[in-house]
Structure 1
Amino acid sequence: MNGFIFPYTTRLVKKEKVNHNVVRFSVQRPFGFNFIPGQAVELSIDQPGCELEVAPFTIISAEDDPCLEFIIKIRPNKDSLTYRLSALKPGAVIQLSRPWDTFEYRGYGHFIAAGTGIVPFMPILDYIHRFGPEFTESHLLVYATKSKEDILFEKRLRKMLGSNFIMRLSSPTASEKLPGRIDFGFLKSIVQKKDQYFYICGPKSFEFDMMTHLMKIGVDQKRIQTGYKFGQSKILNS
C-alpha cells in the first residue's frame, strides 16, 4: 500500500461512544508492542478498499494495559477512515505502525488545545499529575471547543488541574456561560512568563493562529510545539 508496511496486526476488542461524534476504540495489544506516554501510531483497517486510508492516532491507555485505546473523532464522510472505523465490529483486523513521538514534554508551561486536540495531551498530563499537586500547579491548560457537549475528559481534567484548567466555547448555547475564542487578547492576559514552554494541538489553522499570537507576544518559536510530527504515511480521507 503505497510503500507503507505495518509491523503490527491486531483486532478490535470494543468501541464506546464518548459523545455525539467521538468514539473510544480498544484493540488487543500486539505481542512485543511497547510505547511511552504521548506516543501515537499510524492506523489502518485490514480490508479491501482501505489500502490507502491511513491516519495517526495517539495512544491514551497506560503503558501496562493489555489493550491499546484511542479516542477518535468520526467524520460524516462515509468514505473516510474514521467513518469506516465507527462501523467495525469486535474482531475486525486493525493494522498499526510502530509508535512514534507526537509531543515531547520539555518542561512546565501552557497546553493549548482545540477539540480532539486534547487527546495527545492526556498521557502527558497524566504523567505530570503523578508528580503531585506542586508540579501540576506549574502547568496551565486552555481547552477550546464549539460547545460544552464537545468537551472531552472534563471531570478528569478538573480533578488533575483544578483552577489551572480553563475552558473556552466558540459557539456556546444560551445556557452555557463559557463564551470566547482563544484570541490574541486572551493569550496575552494569561501568559505571565515567556520563558516557559507552549504545547499546541488542534486544527492546523488553530495551531498557526496560536503560534502567531504567542510569537507576537514575544515567545521564542523554539519554545512552541504544535501538532503531530508524523510523516511516515500519506494521510487520505481520515
Structure 2
Amino acid sequence: MTSETVRLQRREEVAHGTMAFHFDKPAGFSFKPGQAIDLILPDPAIAGTEGARHAFSIVSAPHEGELVVATRRRDSAFKNALAGLALGAPAQVEGPFGALTLHNKAERAAVFVAGGIGITPFMSMLRHAAHQRLQRRLVLVYSNRRPEDSAFLSELQRLEGDYPNFSLVATMTRMAESRLPWMGETGLVDAALLKRVAAELPDPVYYVAGPPAMVAGLRETLERVGVDDDDIRSEEFYGY
C-alpha cells in the first residue's frame, strides 16, 4: 500500500476530550464514505515503530477538500505526538481501506448505531448522503454519556433539519453528571429503543461502530430482536 504526504491544517475540539485534526487531501486521493486510513507520524520518539501509526475512520466526506480524523485524548505515545504536531507539519497516510460502507439498494433503509467516537465513519456517510441528496431513509442512534461528550452533535442536529431523509436519535447515559440541559432520550441503547426506531423503516440494514464491548452487545441485541446476521455490519474501535 502506497503512502501519501499530508500536512496538518488545523485542529479543533469537537467534544469534551475529543479532537478533530484537519489535513490537506492529496491530489487524486479518493475513498468511500465509512472507510479508514492509517495515519503515520514522524515524531522521533515513535518514528519507525508500530506505535508511529494508527488507523482512523475518515470523518470528512469524499467531496470535501480535506482529510479529517477525530480521536479521544489519551496519554499514549501516538496521541501525545499527534497533539503536539505543529500546524503545517507533515505526516503520512496509507489507505483507504475498510468495508463499513453504505449498501447499494436505495429502497432499504440504513440504521447507524454509534457509541462515542464510533460516530466518525457515520459522519462521512451522512455528509456524503446529504450532499448527494440520496433518496433513502437514514437513522442514526447515537449514544454518549453526556451532551458535552457528544462529538459533532450540533452538526448532526442541524443536518436532521436540513436533510428530510435523515433522523437523529441521540441518547445520554449519565445525565446526572452533565451541566447541560437535555430533552432527548436517556439510557442505554436497548432492544426496545432499536425496535421503536426501526418500526416503520423499509427492510433496514444495521451498522454498528464503537468500543468492542458495546459492538458485541449490540450485535447480540439486534439478533435477539430478529435482525438477520447478514443485515448487521460492524466495526470495533480500539484505542480511540
TM-score interval, normalised by the smaller of the two chains:
0.7 to 0.9
Counterpart amino acid of 2:14? V
| 1:225 matches 2:227 | no
Equivalent residue of 2:50, what SS? coil
1:181–1:64 distance in 2 versus 1, CA, 3 Å:
closer
CA displacement at 1:131 relative to structure 2: 5.1
2:110, 2:206 within 8 Å by CA — same for their partners in 1? yes
**Residue pair 2:62, 2:128 contacting (<8 A) in 1 also:** no
SS state at 1:227 partner: strand
Distance in structure 1 (CA, Å) of the matches to 2:27 and 2:73: 28
What are the within-5 Å matches in structure 2 for residues 201-212 of structure 1?
A: 201-212=209-220
- Deviation per CA, 1:137-164, whole angstroms, max 9, x where unpaired? x222110001010112223222333582
| 4+ aligned runs moved over 4 Å, structure 1 | none
- How far off its partner does 1:228 sit? 5.7
Say whether residues 1:187 and 2:190 are aligned partners.
Answer: no
Contact 1:13 1:26 in 2 (8 A): yes
CA distance 1:150–1:56, change in 2 (3 Å): same
In structure 1, the gaps of 5 or more residues are 230-234
Q: How far off is 1:224 after superposition? A: 0.3
- Judged with a 3 Å threshold, the aligned counterparts in structure 2 of structure 1 residues 198 and 62 are, in CA distance, closer, same or farther, namely closer
Q: 2:208 aligns to what?
A: 200
Judged with a 3 Å threshold, the aligned counterparts in structure 2 of structure 1 residues 216 and 58 are, in CA distance, closer, same or farther, namely same
Cross-structure match for 1:12: 8
Cα offsets for 1:96-115 (capped at 9, x unmatched) = 11211341211422111111
Q: What is the Cα-based RMSD across aligned positions, in Å? A: 2.6
Q: 1:42 to 1:126 in 2, by over 3 A?
A: same
Checking the alignment, whether the CA contact within 8 Å between 2:61 and 2:125 is kept in structure 1 is: no
CA–CA distance in structure 1, aligned partners of residues 95 and 64 of structure 2? 17
Mapping 1:1-238, distance limit 5 Å = 7-50=3-46, 51-53=49-51, 54-75=53-74, 77=75, 79-106=76-103, 107-130=108-131, 132=133, 135=135, 138-162=137-161, 164-173=167-176, 175-177=181-183, 178-192=185-199, 195-227=203-235
Task: Give the Cα–Cα distance (whole angstroms) in 1 for the partners of residues 198 and 30 of structure 2.
Answer: 36
- Counterpart CA distance in 2 for 1:29 and 1:196 is 33
- Higher mean alpha-carbon deviation, 200-209 vs 45-54, is at 45-54
Measure how far apart 1:34 and its partner are: 2.3
Runs of 5+ in structure 2 lacking a partner? none
Q: Which moved more, 1:192-201 or 1:7-16?
A: 192-201
Structure 1 residues 120, 34: closer, same or farther in 2, change over 3 A?
Answer: same
How many pairs were matched up? 224
Letter in 1 for 2:17: N
| Identical-residue share of aligned pairs (%) | 26
- 1:99 aligned counterpart, secondary structure: strand
> AA paired with 2:187?
G
**Does the 8 Å CA contact 1:195/1:223 hold for their aligned counterparts?**
no
Distance 2:132 2:90 in 1: 38
TM-score (norm 2): 0.82
